């Protein structure tokens, strides 16, 4: 449902899920009305509910204005780990996909880490703004700092007064995921790596509670 909304916005803006460059989406009244009706139905059926879709990073401004009482869980993962994950997924698709055109697309994606990095940048820039401007409704965790025994749901309950089941991450995630981030490597051009590093630093600084009182560094050079 939410994925379909995001895909529709991307299509109407001439973009695809990879979104290799930052862009300001144009949200048509029809899409906004549809999103509002989806939210209204969810609100009527559930006291607390949520959704997860990486594309939501591109449209946080839309959801911040449509959701009745939003809270955002932002899971930060270093760009090298994200690139590594997407490249490995693309290579796996090449191995398992029978359709040659689709296989060629995945092969080109796996071979162009700069393009994947630019997509990561495009997805992260809206999150930098979200965290900086709405720290009271955003809970941030850094994947590389998590332990299998940690419970994000417990943290959310304490922070926002939810009543979620408090379960350790090891119950739902493979322990290897926590170790993989530290081992990820990337082959980026110096220019792309510098921009990605600037955005990563902005994310981690914005996610630090003390950062709310510190002046934010401009990101104009990272766009």
pLDDT of 39-59, one tens digit each? 999 999 999 999 999 999 999
Domain ranges of the chain: 1-69, 71-223
Pairing of strands 72-76, 138-142: parallel
Nearest to 13 by CA among 51, 45, 59: 59
Tell me what pLDDT residue 180 has. Answer: 54
Tell me what pLDDT residue 186 has. Answer: 72
pLDDT of 105-137, one tens digit each? 778 777 889 999 999 999 999 999 999 999 999
Query: Is pLDDT above 50 for 213?
Result: no
Structure token pair of residue 71: 């809270």
Q: Do the beta carbons of residue 222 and residue 205 sit within 8 Å? A: no
Q: How many residues does the chain have?
A: 223
Tell me what pLDDT residue 144 has. Answer: 83
Rank 11-20, 38-47, 163-172 by mean pLDDT and report only the highest.
38-47
Compute the distance between CA of residue 97 and CA of residue 69 in angstroms, rounded to an integer. 42
Q: Give SS3 for 103.
A: helix
Tell me what pLDDT residue 212 has. Answer: 44
């Amino acid at each position: 449902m939410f994925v379909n909304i995001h895909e529709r916005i991307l299509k109407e803006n001439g973009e695809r899920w990879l979104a290799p460059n930052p862009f300001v989406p144009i949200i048509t009244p029809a899409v906004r009305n549809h999103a509002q009706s989806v939210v209204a139905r969810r609100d009527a059926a559930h006291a607390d509910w949520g959704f997860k879709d990486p594309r939501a990073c591109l449209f946080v401004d839309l959801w911040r204005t449509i959701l009745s009482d939003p809270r955002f869980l932002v899971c930060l993962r270093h760009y090298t780990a994200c690139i590594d994950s997407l490249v490995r997924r693309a290579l796996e698709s090449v191995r398992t996909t029978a359709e040659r055109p689709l296989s060629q697309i995945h092969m080109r994606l796996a071979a162009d880490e700069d393009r994947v990095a630019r997509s990561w940048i495009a997805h992260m820039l809206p999150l930098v703004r979200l965290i900086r401007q709405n720290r009271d409704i955003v809970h941030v965790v850094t994947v590389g700092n998590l332990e299998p025994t940690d419970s994000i749901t417990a943290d959310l309950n304490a922070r926002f007064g939810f009543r979620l089941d408090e379960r350790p991450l090891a119950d739902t995630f493979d322990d290897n995921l926590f170790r993989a981030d530290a081992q990820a490597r990337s082959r980026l051009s110096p220019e792309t790596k510098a921009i990605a590093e600037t955005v990563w630093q902005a994310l981690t600084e914005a996610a630090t509670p003390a950062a709310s009182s510190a002046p934010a560094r401009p990101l104009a050079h990272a766009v």
